[in-house]
Amino acid sequence: MVTTSKAWEVLRRVPDPEIPVISVTDLGIVRDVVAREDGVEVIVTPTYAGCPATEVIRASIEEALRAAGAVSVQISTRLDPPWTTDWIAPAARKRLREYGIAPPHALPLDEQPILFAPRRLPVECPRCRSDDTERLSQFGATACKALYRCRSCREPFEYFKPL
């Protein structure tokens, strides 16, 4: 039998398929783990409703827990409360930066004005740490990121959008 603490330990090593330097628990999408005699139930929440990585994440979680000895693995979805980037672990923020992705600000979205909001927030370049950066697009290669460029070192980079 796989205990709850063993299951959490396994989950801490399941990487996010799009950003492999952080795990599914770093990301804050594992909401609960329930170990039973006959298996493990993992309750996850999606980052973005349409995120295509969701299916891969579910498969990776199941595979990892089975490899650890769980006979049956059930994965359920919980939408409420909705996922927020504030749940990303502090240590994972550091790893994001080292990986070249600027970690998200912890700003309440409700307080941002409708027009031209991100221009008010300095986003630090993950490479040279300069604040002199510009947004190229609010949307990037995945739903959770925006595209930026550093005016100081001239490198483009991605910014994990606060959600």
Partner 1 sequence: MSTTLVHTEAELQYLLRIGDSSLILGQRLAEWCGHGPILEEDIALTNVALDLIGQARLLLSAAGELEGRGRDEDQLAFLRAENDYRNVTLVELPNGDFARAMLRNFLFAAFQLQLWQALSTSSHAQLIAIAAKSAKETRYHLRHAADWTVRLGDGTDESNRRMRAALEYLWPYTNELFSPTAEDDAVEESGFGIAWSTLQPAWEGTVLPVLAQAGLGVPARTPFLSSGKSGRHSEHMGHLLSELQYLQRTYPGNTW
Binding site for partner 1 (CB under 8 A): 46, 48-52, 79-84, 109, 112, 114-118, 136-141, 143, 147, 161, 163
d(CA 65, CA 148): 37
Judged by CB, which is closer to partner 1: 23, or 45?
A: 45
Judged by CB, which is closer to partner 1: 38, or 134?
A: 134
Q: How far is the CB of 6 from partner 1 (least distance, A)?
A: 30
Judged by CB, which is closer to partner 1: 143, or 153?
A: 143
Q: How far is the CB of 57 from partner 1 (least distance, A)?
A: 14
Q: Residue 92 — φ and ψ, nearest 5°?
A: -70, -30
Q: Is the Cβ–Cβ distance between 119 and 22 less than 8 Å?
A: no
Q: How far is the CB of 87 from partner 1 (least distance, A)?
A: 13
d(CA 9, CA 11): 5
Question: What number of CA atoms fall less than 13 Å from residue 34's CA on the CB side?
Answer: 8
Judged by CB, which is closer to partner 1: 67, or 113?
A: 113
Q: How far is the CB of 12 from partner 1 (least distance, A)?
A: 25
Q: Is the Cβ–Cβ distance between 145 and 120 less than 8 Å?
A: no
d(CA 96, CA 160): 9
